[in-house]
Structure 1
C-alpha cells in the first residue's frame, strides 16, 4: 500500500535523532518548570515567564503527538507507550476547578514521558513489567515466611517485648523492619537480652528473608532485564536492516528510472548501441 508523501515526511521527521533529542530537551525543561512552580518566591517574581514557558513546552508536546498520530494513523493507538504519551499530554487540558484538582496535579506526569522517549528507559520498564509474574511468587513466599515467623515471635517474645511482639500485627511490622534492615538492632535487643537463644531465631529469619528471598527478587529482575535487552537489540537490528532495505530499494528504483531516462534520450538522439 502506497504511503502518502506527507505522512512519510512526518514519519521521517519524528524518527530523526535530532528531533528526538529536541523532545527530550523539552521534557527536561518542562520538568524544571514544574519544579520552579512549587516555589512561591520564584512564582511571585517570574510567574508569568514560568507559565509562558510551561505553555510553550505543552504546545511542543501537542505538536509532537499530532505528528505521530498523523504519521502512524490508527496504528498509533496500538502502542501502549503511545497511549501513555497521549493521556499524559491530554491531562494538561483538564479545566481548572476544585473537582479537577487531583487531575490537574497529575500534569506532573509529563516528566514521565522520558520513560517512553528514551529507549534504554523503555527497556528497563518493560523488564520490570515482565518480572511481575515471577516476583509475585517470590512475594508470596516472603509473605508466608513473615507470617509464620510473626506467629512464632509473638508466642516466644510477646511477654518479653510487648512493644515489638505483643500482637501478631506488631510482630509482622517488626519483622518486616528487620527484613529491610531499618534499625533492626533495637527491634531485637530486648528479646535477645532476655533470651540468649533468641539470636538464633533472628539470624535464621534474616538469612531466609534478606539473603535468600530478597536476592531472588534481584535475580528475577536481572534475568528479565537481560532478556529484554536481547529482544531490544534484536528489534533494533531489524529496524536497521529494514532501513537499509528501504534505502537499497530507493536507490535501485532511482537507478532504474535513470536507465529509462538514458534509454529514452538515446532513442531520441538515435545513438547507435
Structure 2
C-alpha cells in the first residue's frame, strides 16, 4: 500500500498524465464510433467494453489523486471539473426524458482541457477575460438594438421579411454582423433605397471590424497577462532556489572556517 507521498509521486509523474491523455483520446474515438450505425452493429460490444474500461480508468485516477492530496484535492477547480464530468457519466443510462444522460458521456472528452497544460492556460485566460468581454457584449447588444430600431423604421416596408418588426430586424442584423449573406440583404433593400448601403457598411464597420475585434484583443491581453504572471512565478521560484543554495554555501563556508580554526588551535 503506497503512502500519500508515494501516491503523489505517481499522480504527478509525467507518464501518468500521458496515460490519462491517451485514455481520453481513445475514449473520444470510441464515442465518435458509436454514432455510426455500421460500426455500432459490427463492433458494438468492443466499443462498449472500451468505454467501460475508460470510465473505470477515470474513476481510479480520481481516487488516486484524492488519496494523494486528501482534502486539498478539492482546492483545485480543475479537480472539481474532472469530478463533476466523471460523476455525470457514472449516472445509469436511462430512457425517455433522461436518455440525454447517456449522450453526456462525451463530456469526458472535455477532460483534455484539464489534462493538457496549454489548454488549461487558454481556458484560464478566457475566464480572466470574462469581465472585459461582458462589457463588450453589452456594448455590442446596445449597438445591435439601436441599429435594429433604425432598420425597422427605414426598411420595414421595403423588405418586411427581413425588417418587418423589431425581432426580424434583430435576427437579420445579427446575421449581417456575422457576414453571412449580408450583401443579398443589402442589395434587396438597395433596389428600393439606393443609399441603404451607407447603413449596412457603417453597421458592419462598427460591429464586425471594431466591436467583435475587441473580443480578440481582450482575450489576447488576458493570455499575455497570464503568461507574464507564470513567467514571474517561475522567476520567483528560481530566485528562491538560488537564495537557498547561496544560504547553504554560506553555511558550508562557515563550517569550513570553524574547522580551520579548530585545526589551528
TM range (shorter): 0.7 to 0.9
SS of residue in 2 equivalent to 1:197: helix
* Match of residue 139 from structure 2: 141
* Match of residue 268 from structure 1: none
2:168 to 167, 170, 176: 170
Q: Cα distance, 1:79 vs. partner?
A: 1.3
Contact 1:94–1:100 (8 Å) recurs in 2: no
* Count of aligned residue pairs for this structure pair: 245
Determine the C-alpha separation between the residues in 2 that align with 1:239 and 1:83: 27
* Match of residue 265 from structure 1: none
Matched ranges for 1:139-218 at <5 A: 139-218=137-216
Q: Cα distance, 1:94 vs. partner?
A: 1.0
> Gapped runs of 5+ residues in structure 1?
253-273
Matched ranges for 1:231-246 at <5 A: 231-235=229-233
Q: TM-score, normalised by structure 1?
A: 0.83
2:8 to 1, 8, 11: 11
* Match of residue 76 from structure 1: 73
Determine the C-alpha separation between the residues in 1 that align with 2:181 and 2:33: 36
Q: Cα distance, 1:16 vs. partner?
A: 1.2
Deviations 1:192-218 (A, max 9, x none): 222222111111111111111111111
Matched ranges for 1:94-113 at <5 A: 94-98=91-95, 100-113=98-111
Q: Cα distance, 1:93 vs. partner?
A: 2.1
Q: Say if 1:149 and 1:100 are closer, same or farther in 2 by CA, change over 3 A.
A: closer
1:221 to 213, 219, 222: 219
> Gapped runs of 5+ residues in structure 2?
249-265
Q: Cα distance, 1:100 vs. partner?
A: 3.7
Q: TM-score, normalised by structure 2?
A: 0.85
Determine the C-alpha separation between the residues in 2 that align with 1:141 and 1:70: 48
* Match of residue 228 from structure 2: 230
* Match of residue 54 from structure 1: 51
Contact 1:11–1:68 (8 Å) recurs in 2: yes
Deviations 1:157-176 (A, max 9, x none): 11111111111111111111
Determine the C-alpha separation between the residues in 2 that align with 1:225 and 1:29: 30
Determine the C-alpha separation between the residues in 2 that align with 1:157 and 1:44: 55
Contact 1:123–1:232 (8 Å) recurs in 2: no
Determine the C-alpha separation between the residues in 2 that align with 1:57 and 1:194: 62
Across the aligned residues of Structure 1 and Structure 2, the Cα RMSD in angstroms comes to: 2.4
